[in-house]
Amino acid sequence: MSITCINEPLEVYQGDLSDVYHVRPVYSGLADALSSDWACFQGVIDCDGNIVVDRVEVTAKVVDTNDKQRFLCALEPADTELLAVPNGYNESYTWVIEVVNDSVSPAYNREVHIPLQVKKHGL
């Protein structure tokens, strides 16, 4: 498994839709359209590695300006509502996005870790 860590935190308010992240596997000879062998999953963990937002499959796809298909990842308001902000101002989490394909050899498994800075809504 390969893990890429993004250094710049993504800010999101509790209960809001997160920014959108487009994900495409990096694989030699990959066609423009992603076959059904490619799967994408996302979830959120806290700083101790505990699952806060369950891992779910991402099925939405978009085509970029180079006609390459990408998975369209975003945290829904129901997801960001689950991210507690106990100190009243902000809390850090990690958004984990995973792309897999078990039909290639060797099997493809790559994760992107995006730091989240979650802020509380309201006064």
pLDDT for the residue numbered 85: 84
Topology at the third CATH level for domain 2-119: Immunoglobulin-like (2.60.40)
pLDDT for the residue numbered 7: 82
Block mean pLDDT (10 aa), the chain, length 123: 80 90 91 96 94 96 95 94 80 94 94 92 65
pLDDT for the residue numbered 122: 65
Q: Where are the domains of the chain?
A: 2-119
Concatenate the DSSP letters of all residues of 8-48 into one string. Answer: SPEEEETTSPPPPEEE----TT--SSPPTT-EEEEEEE-TT
The whole-angstrom separation of Cα 111 and Cα 89 is 29
The whole-angstrom separation of Cα 123 and Cα 112 is 33
Reported pTM = 0.90
pLDDT for the residue numbered 86: 78
